[in-house]
Structure 1
Amino acid sequence: MKKPVAFDAADYLDSEEVIAEYLNVALASEHPDLFLQAIADVAKARGMAQLAKETGLGRESLYKALAPGAKPRYDTVLKVIRALGVELQMTPVPRKA
C-alpha cells in the first residue's frame, strides 16, 4: 500500500496568472488566515531566500510573519506582495438596494 503524499499548493504555483488567481480567491475569503497562508504558499514557490533579499526582511522574520495566526504589519504584507510581483486592487462592490 502506498503512503499518501501531502498536498503542497506551492508545487502548482508556476505562473503569474495562477499565482494571481490563487491570491484573489484567498483574499475573497472571510478568513484572513487563508490569505496569509496563500501568501506563504506563493513565497515558498518563489523561494523564501530570494523573497527575503527582495523585501529586505530576514528569512526567519518572513517565516514568522507568514505563519498561521500571525498578525503581520501592513507594511510587511505590502513589501511581500510587491516582491511577489502582484498588487492589491480594490473594486467597488454593488450595494444592496
Structure 2
Amino acid sequence: MAEELTTYDPAAALTDDEEIAFFMADAFETGDAAYIAKALGVVARAKGMSEIAEKTGLSREQLYRSFSERGNPTLKTTLAVMRALGVDLTTKPYHA
C-alpha cells in the first residue's frame, strides 16, 4: 500500500513573533542570501502577503516574485518587508 505524503508549509508553523524571530535568526546564521530571501518570503506568507503589500506599498505579485525560488529581492524591498514584519536587521562582530 502506497504511503500518502502531504505538503508541509513552514508558514503555517509561524504563529507568533517569537517563532518568526527565531526562524529568521536561523536563516541569517546560514549566511546564504537565497536562503534568507526564501525564509523572508515564508514569513511574509505567514503574516499574509496582502497585509505586507499594504504596509510596504509593493504589490502582492512583486512580493511573490521577489521572494520566490528564482527571485532576487533588492535590499530596499528586503528592508521594507522586514520593517513590515517587525523583524530587525542588526549587526554583530564576525568571528571566524
- 2:22 — aligned with what? 21
Q: 1:55 aligned to 2:78?
A: no
Task: Count matched residues.
Answer: 95
Q: Which runs of 5+ in 2 are unaligned?
A: none
Shift of 1:2: 5.2
Q: 1:6 aligned to 2:45?
A: no
- 1:35 — aligned with what? 36
The 1-side partners of 2:94 and 2:62 are apart by 35
List per-residue Cα deviations over 1:68-95 (Å, max 9, x = no partner): 1322111110000000011100011236
Moved over 3 A (4+): none
TM-score, scaled relative to structure 1: 0.90
CA RMSD of aligned residues (A): 1.3
The one-letter code sitting in structure 2 at the alignment partner of 1:53 is E
Q: Which runs of 5+ in 1 are unaligned?
A: none
The 1-side partners of 2:27 and 2:61 are apart by 24
